[in-house]
């Protein structure tokens, strides 16, 4: 358990990406379960959802870098 905590602290963006992607995919599956999509459509929807989650975390991390630079310069 301690190794998991240290990995999470070392890689906060990857952890956030995993958590956000898991939630987004769960919501996608729940909401679209009765639509009647083919297996390949499900696959690509899930892949794109995971990539969008990664993009969201990447964009959010831009603000963190600015705050760190400001704190170091002060």
Tell me the two tokens of residue 7: 């990995």
Render 5-41 in DSSP notation, one character per residue. Answer: HHHHHH-HHHHHHHHHHHHHHHHHHHHTTTS---HHH
What's the total number of domains in the chain?
1
**For every one of its 74 residues, what pLDDT tens digit does the chain have, with 9 covering 90 and above?**
888 899 889 999 999 999 999 999 999 999 999 999 999 999 999 999 999 999 999 999 998 766 666 666 66
pLDDT (0 to 100) of residue 68? 67
pLDDT (0 to 100) of residue 51? 98
pLDDT (0 to 100) of residue 64? 75
pLDDT (0 to 100) of residue 2? 87
Q: b or e along 2-15 (b: 16 or more beta carbons within 10 Å of the residue's beta carbon)?
A: eeeeeeeeeeeeee
Q: What residues contact residue 29 under an 8 Å CB cut-off, 6+ apart?
A: 46
Give me the domain span that covers residue 38: 2-73
């Amino acid at each position: 358990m301690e190794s998991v905590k240290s990995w999470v602290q070392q890689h906060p963006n990857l952890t956030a990406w995993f958590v956000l992607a898991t939630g987004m995919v769960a919501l996608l599956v729940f909401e679209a379960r009765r639509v009647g999509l083919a297996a390949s459509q499900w696959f690509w929807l899930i892949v794109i959802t995971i990539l969008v989650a990664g993009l969201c975390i990447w964009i959010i991390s831009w603000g963190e870098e600015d705050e760190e630079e400001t704190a170091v310069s002060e």
